[in-house]
Amino acid sequence: MSLNTEQFAAANKATVDSLLAVANTALASAERIAALNLNTARAALEDTASGVQSVMGAKDPQAALAAQSSLAQPAVDKAVAYSRSIYEITSETQQELAKMVEAQFGDFQKSMASMVELAAKSAPAGSEGAVAAIQNAIAAANSAFGNMNAMAKQFADAAQANIAAVTKQK
């Protein structure tokens, strides 16, 4: 049971491709968040300037107070919209990364199963117990991954429900 040069090269290429996909996904997410932050900062600056002009243009203290009070609700609405956008970006990124991990784990499972099968065929007599132990360990890892994946999905669903509840209150 030895790896030949082509198998080694293919494994290395697959690893590099996976790392590049993860890096590209992370960079795309960072780019979206940076753009959102820049746009939010620009809008906040414009709103502040507009608010200051409204307050400064007031004819009396009552009008200044009314102008200042009228700025509060739009600021809250924008903060909620910003939070929702950040959540959407991170949620989409998490889903993309989870798909990549699932695909990689599926490929890993297949290669491990074929390696164990090959090892079982070429193993000396009396090593059936060791092969069975390896197969049980792989089954346990598969089960743990399935449980972890299910918990991550439950957490994501709960977070999404919480965000939806908060935005409905607005």
Q: List pLDDT tens digits, range 74-118.
A: 888 898 899 889 988 988 998 898 888 888 777 777 777 777 777
In angstroms, the CA 95 to CA 153 distance is: 9
Residue 20's identity, in one-letter code, is L
| Cα(70)–Cα(150) distance, integer angstroms | 46
CB atoms within 10 A of CB 121: 9
pTM recorded for the entire structure: 0.63
CA 164 to chain CA centroid, nearest Å: 18
pLDDT surpassing 50 at residue 1:
no
User: How is residue 31 written in tokens?
Assistant: 């780019």
How is the chain split into domains, by residue range? 5-169
